[in-house]
Amino acid sequence: MTHRTLLLTALAMLAFAGNSLLCRLALKDTEIDAATFTSLRIVSGALTLWLLLRLRPGRSAVGGSWFGALALFAYAAAFSFAYISLDAGAGALLLFGAVQISMLLWGFYRGERLGMAGSAGLLMAFAGLLVLLLPGASAPAMSSALLMLLSGVAWGAYSLLGRGVSDPLAATAGNFLRAVPFALATSLLLLGSLHWDGPGVLYALLSGALASGAGYAIWYTALRGLKAFQAATVQLSVPIITALAGSLLLSEPLTLRLLIASVAVLGGIALVLGSQRQRS
């Protein structure tokens, strides 16, 4: 791995963690509502990706699909509404765990088999999520946790739909642009409860333009220098970065429950990825 790829990968992971932090910060400390945050995030992300596509040599046309756009919108909307009451670290762990587990289960449905070590890792990851969701003083609100799990499944579906596309940046730009009507329609349906302020709008725009739009573009560039196993494994860092940053920047507690769940979920997924690498 070159120094350039390492730098781009680190920036991408920070951007992914930044989405959780910006969303949680906006919904916790500003007047913006989840629907407005989602709309601004998708619109600003679409504009940023479209601009990056226009500035790229060759000026490729936008790609993507309406199914991809719907999955993207479902991820972003559920993500925002879940973070109304979820801590940043717990939300990132639920999101990441649901993404990876849903993609692994889809592979199992399509005939892929994990072997003994991979199966143990998958069960370990499921157990970690259950530990986080069990009733208790530090358990996240169940409705918000289920929304974040739904967000993770939607992002997993979006990722599966994007497998094998010839131009990931063009596909993502097209999906973001197609997701704009879904986001605006949601805001219109909730028109009576919409509210925002300057800081909330700023956080939403940063989430869309930088953490989503530019962050995804950086990640696609980094992927050219990463093997598939490296690309999957490095994302294990995102919930950890988010939890640590949430503790430092948002004064969120690093509870024993979250630490145990993190070890189980991330360790289990790492075990699955390791077994897949050995079998390939």
For the chain, list residues with pLDDT below 70. 1, 59, 135-138, 163-164, 228-230, 232-233, 273, 276-280
> Domain residues for 111?
3-279
Helix (H) or strand (E) holding 10: helix 3-29
Residue-wise DSSP of 28-44: HHSS--HHHHHHHHHHH
pTM, two decimals, is 0.85
The tens digit of pLDDT for each residue in 189-225 reads: 999 889 999 999 999 999 999 999 888 888 878 877 7
Collect all residues with Cβ–Cβ distance below 8 Å to 137 and sequence separation of at least 6.
none
Secondary structure (DSSP) of 248-271: HHS-----HHHHHHHHHHHHHHHH
pLDDT at position 277: 62
pLDDT at 116: 83
pLDDT for residue 154: 93
Distance CA 90, CA 252 (A): 10
Q: Give the type of residue at 269.
A: I
Alpha carbon distance 208, 39 (integer Å)? 9
126 burial (CB, 10 Å; 0-12 / 13-18 / 19+) is middle
Residue 166 backbone phi and psi in degrees, to 5: -75, -25
Residues 233-271 as b or e (16 or more Cβ within 10 Å = b):
bbbbbbbbbbbebbbeeeebeebebbeebbebbbebbbb
pLDDT at 31: 94
At residue 148, what are phi and psi to the nearest 5 degrees?
A: -70, -35
Residue 255 pLDDT: 82
pLDDT of residue 229: 62
What confidence score (pLDDT) does residue 134 get? 75
d(CA 33, CA 150): 19
| Three-state SS annotation for 175-198 | HHHHHHHHHHHHHHHCHHHCCCCH
Tokens of 3: 């120094």
Q: Provide the number of structural domains found in the chain.
A: 1
CA-angle at 176, arms to 172 and 180, nearest 5° = 170
